[in-house]
């Protein structure tokens, strides 16, 4: 079975429910991608650290129901998962508030089982993580993770890097730029966006942003519903189909794009067709509140891929 490992953090999610109330669920960029990958028929494990509390128990049970593998989730005594709250405006644009400084996931690269977790990455077809994942760890932790990714690639795995940027996680932008450069050099697939990269490289053009990314397979999502792909030095522009429903919440638009893109590539589709699949998936997700849409809202899985 094709397998993907998603590395990152899942948090308790509070989202607006009206009348000043909030509903509770869970989410996190890489976890969102893992769930959508599993729903798209891709065997997916989630790699993270959680506490030994009932909320962490609830998360693991929920991931298992979604078909996401949890065997590589570390449980830390006395720790808790992080928490975030989403506020959305009338256009569906979101604002996040986080409480995560002491979350269990931040310890993942410093555990007795860390070496075994990193050694396991070579058993996957694709290892996926985001810049938010990298922001969780200190310099030594990131160095361990990058070394594990290098060994995994030597063993045949591919590394997919999502540029998902949150300024709160990078108080020093020079550190962020250095970490991004390292990830760009190492990644086989880079899923980028102007929204993520312009805070790091203000005023840069699309061509300028692409020039900063040395990877052979790069998707740059634009501010409009379109993307530029670079494969083997050749550029392709892909536009999303117009939405037929109003945008409700843009949370997880990029995460679901990543899942559909990776799923399509693993099924044998070319990058242009895979980007179309990503835009289509994101177009469904933004029409629903929260990071994870109802299963009944998922688009049908195509049994054909375009090479």
Active-site positions? 255
Distance, in Å, from the CA atom of 25 to the CA atom of 40, rounded to the nearest integer, reads 21
H or E segment at 3?
A: strand 3-7
Q: What does DSSP say about strands 226-231 and 234-239: parallel, antiparallel, or unpaired?
A: antiparallel
Q: Please report where in the chains the tokens 């993520």 appear, as a residue.
A: 196
Contact 162, 282 (CB under 8 A): no
Please say whether the beta carbons of 161 and 191 come within 8 A.
yes
Q: Strand pairing partners for 221? A: 193, 227
Burial class (CB within 10 angstroms; exposed 0-12, middle 13-18, buried 19+) of 152: buried
157-183 exposure pattern, b = at least 16 Cβ within 10 A, e = fewer: bbbbbbbbbeeebbeeeeebeebbebb
Distance CA 88, CA 92 (A): 5
User: Alpha-carbon distance 296 to 83, whole Å?
Assistant: 27
Question: Taking the CB of residue 222, how many other CB atoms lie within 10 A of it?
Answer: 16
In whole angstroms, give the CA distance from residue 246 to residue 242: 11
| Residue among 264, 183, 199 at smallest CA distance from 229 | 264
How do 126-130 and 43-51 pair as beta strands?
unpaired
**Structure tokens belonging to residue 303:** 């049994």
């Amino acid at each position: 079975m094709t397998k993907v490992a998603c590395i990152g953090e899942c948090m308790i999610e509070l989202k607006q429910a009206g009348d000043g109330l909030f509903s509770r669920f869970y989410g996190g960029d890489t976890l969102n991608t893992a769930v959508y990958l599993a729903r798209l028929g891709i065997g997916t494990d989630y790699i993270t650290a959680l506490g030994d509390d009932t909320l962490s128990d609830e998360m693991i049970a929920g991931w298992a129901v979604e078909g996401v593998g949890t065997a590589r989730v570390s449980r830390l005594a006395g720790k808790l998962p992080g928490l975030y709250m989403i506020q959305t405006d009338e256009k569906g644009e979101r604002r996040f508030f986080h409480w995560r400084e002491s979350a269990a996931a931040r310890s993942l690269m410093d555990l007795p089982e860390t070496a075994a977790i990193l050694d396991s990455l070579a058993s996957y077809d694709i290892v996926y993580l985001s810049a938010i994942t990298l922001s969780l760890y200190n310099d030594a932790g990131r160095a361990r993770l990058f070394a594990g990714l290098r060994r995994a690639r030597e063993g045949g795995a591919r590394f997919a890097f999502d540029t998902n940027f949150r300024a709160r996680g990078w108080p020093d932008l020079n550190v962020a730029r250095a970490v991004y450069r390292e990830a760009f050099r190492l990644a086989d697939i880079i899923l980028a966006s102007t929204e993520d990269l312009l805070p790091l490289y203000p005023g840069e053009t699309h061509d300028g942003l692409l020039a900063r990314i040395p990877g052979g397979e790069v998707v740059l999502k634009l501010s409009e519903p379109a993307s530029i792909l670079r494969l083997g030095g050749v550029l392709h522009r892909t536009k999303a189909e117009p939405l037929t429903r109003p945008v409700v919440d843009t949370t997880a638009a990029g995460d679901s794009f990543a899942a559909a893109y990776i799923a399509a590539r693993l099924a044998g589709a070319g990058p242009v067709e895979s980007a179309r699949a990503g835009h289509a998936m994101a177009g469904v997700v933004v029409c629903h509140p929260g990071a994870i849409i109802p299963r009944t809202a998922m688009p049908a899985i195509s049994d054909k891929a375009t090479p």
